[in-house]
Amino acid sequence: MPKVVVANDHGAVELTARIVSFLKSEGFEVNYLGTAENKSVDYPDMAKLACDEFNKGGYEFGVLCCGTGIGISISANKIRGIRCALPQNIFAATMAKEHNDANFIAFGGRIDYQDDVLDMVKAYISTQVSQDERHARRRAKMMALEG
């Protein structure tokens, strides 16, 4: 069974619960590291927790959520090896996987998306990473920016 790591702060409790339930229904084993309470927690801590766990290996991808998705995705992208996308629609979720091989996706619990978040997650998980040379070259350049 493919494994996914998921974490969130207090700004996305309900949205994250929906995502976790959906992932389980799609056959994923979910390692949920977030908070299920509306009590304040810091999104950089949640990003680090999930990304460190992901970097241990054995995970297909990760999902992060905070109030807007912005803070938690920026935090995740500070961690070596992480490519966290913040898709705003189905097309962006698809391209995050196909072109960028994003290993995390992030969402905001306080954002009104035009496309349902679960449809974005479904698009992401059903998309294959492009093996086209130009996308591989760009991914390599992206990761080289880590120094």
3-state SS of 11-29?
A: HHHHHHHHHHHHHHHCCCE
- Any long-range contacts for 17-24 (C-beta under 8 Å, 24+ apart)? 18/117, 18/118, 19/63, 19/65, 19/107, 19/117, 19/118, 19/121, 22/118, 22/121, 22/122, 23/63, 23/121
Indicate if the pLDDT at residue 144 is higher than 90: no
CB 85 within 8 A of CB 35: no
Choosing from 3, 83, 99, 122, the catalytic residue is: 99
Spell out the residues 6+ positions from residue 145 whose beta carbon is closer than 8 angstroms to its own: none
**Residue 99 annotated as catalytic:** yes
Confidence of residue 127 (pLDDT cuts 50, 70, 90): very high
Confidence of residue 146 (pLDDT cuts 50, 70, 90): confident
Strands 61-66 and 84-85 come out as: unpaired
Beta-bridge partners for 31: 5
Separation of alpha carbons 44 and 38, rounded Å: 16
pTM assigned to the model: 0.96
CB 76 within 8 A of CB 64: yes
Indicate if the pLDDT at residue 147 is higher than 80: no
Separation of alpha carbons 52 and 80, rounded Å: 9
Which amino acid would we find at residue 13? V
Q: Which domains does the chain have, with CATH numbers?
A: 3-144 (3.40.1400.10)
Residue 69: what pLDDT?
98
